């Protein structure tokens, strides 16, 4: 297994022992290409790619959003997904039952004011994932998970790309939970299970789909 992430994220959240940990800015074409070359040298091919992109800046209306802020979030979510998938596809063609899982959000289908670039980028990831699924069938499957709020460092202030665990939380927890039928906040394990399912032979006939993981907040 290989883990590609920013140096600060690797330091604060170390990958499991035995993992090939590669420092990489997922928005850099050169760094992504170099990281996947190393993955290819070490593994020869890939059976799966999981792209976990989640980056947002301070909430503000679209009318007040500058181009730099817009581009920063689009790059952190959408461009990084494109770069990783493009670099991984040649390796996945050498894998067994190869599959891609990208990460969208419930905000892709149900935008919330103040999250313009985040919602737009996460919606675009769904379209990109379906396109990749069509272009690479039948050899490679591609699906997306679309979580609601998950109790992570990202939600409680941020981590990694410009994040700081001491930042203000991104969510009014009490108000949010009043809208969730399962009446609790998701934890990472709630999303890990669906990701592993989509990677596994149990999902061998599933491609181009979005699996919503939100406790019933959004039912589609």
Question: What 8-state DSSP symbol labels residue 76?
Answer: I
The CA–CA distances, whole Å, from 195 to 20, 67, 105, 171, 216 equal 20, 33, 14, 24, 18
SS3 10: helix
Q: Is 36 within the bounds of a domain?
A: no
The answer to whether residue 32 is domain-embedded is no
Q: Print the domain residue range for 91.
A: 47-213
Which of 49, 213, 216 is closest to 145 using CA atoms? 213
What is the CA angle 8-9-11, rounded to 5?
A: 65
Q: Is 205 a catalytic residue?
A: no
Q: In 3-state terms, what secondary structure has residue 82?
A: helix
- Count the domains in the chain: 1
Record the pTM. 0.92
ω into 176 cis (within 30 of 0): no
In a domain, 218, yes or no: no
Residue 96 lies in a domain: yes
**Which CATH number does the domain housing residue 96 bear?**
3.40.50.720
Residue 120 belongs to some domain of the structure: yes
> Which entry of 115, 118, 176, 205 is annotated as an active-site residue?
118
pLDDT in tens, the chain (220 residues): 999 999 988 888 899 999 999 999 999 999 999 999 999 999 999 999 999 988 888 889 999 999 999 999 999 999 999 999 999 999 999 999 999 999 999 999 998 899 999 999 999 999 999 999 999 999 999 999 999 989 887 776 555 555 555 455 667 888 889 999 999 999 999 999 999 999 999 999 999 999 999 999 989 8
Other Cβ atoms within 10 Å of 63 Cβ, number: 6
User: Which of 90, 99, 80 minimizes the C-alpha distance to 27?
Assistant: 80
Output Rg (C-alpha) for the chain, integer angstroms: 17
Quick count: other Cβ atoms within 10 Å of Cβ 166? 8
> For residue 2, is it within any domain?
no
**Phi, psi (degrees; rounded to nearest 5) at 2:** -125, 145
Q: Tell whether 94 is covered by a domain.
A: yes
Task: Find, among 133, 138, 171, the residue nearest to 152 by Cα.
Answer: 171
């Amino acid at each position: 297994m290989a883990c590609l992430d920013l140096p600060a994220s690797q330091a604060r959240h170390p990958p499991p022992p035995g993992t090939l940990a590669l420092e990489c800015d997922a928005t850099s074409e050169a760094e992504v290409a170099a990281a996947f070359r190393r993955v290819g040298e070490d593994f020869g091919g890939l059976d799966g790619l999981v792209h976990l992109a989640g980056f947002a800046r301070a909430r503000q209306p679209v009318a007040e959003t500058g181009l730099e802020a817009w581009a920063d979030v689009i790059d952190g979510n959408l461009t990084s997904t494109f770069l990783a998938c493009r670099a991984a596809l040649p390796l996945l063609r050498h894998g067994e039952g190869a599959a891609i899982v990208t990460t969208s959000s419930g905000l892709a289908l149900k935008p919330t004011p103040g999250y313009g670039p985040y919602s737009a980028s996460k919606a675009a990831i769904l379209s990109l994932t379906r396109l990749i699924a069509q272009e690479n069938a039948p050899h490679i499957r591609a699906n997306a998970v679309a979580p609601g709020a998950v109790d992570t460092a990202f939600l409680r202030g941020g981590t990694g790309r410009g994040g700081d665990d001491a930042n203000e939380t991104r969510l009014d927890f009490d108000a949010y939970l009043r809208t969730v039928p399962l009446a609790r906040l998701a934890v990472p394990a709630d999303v890990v299970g669906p990701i592993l399912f989509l990677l596994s032979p149990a999902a061998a006939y599933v491609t181009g789909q979005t699996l919503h993981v939100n406790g019933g907040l959004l039912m589609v």
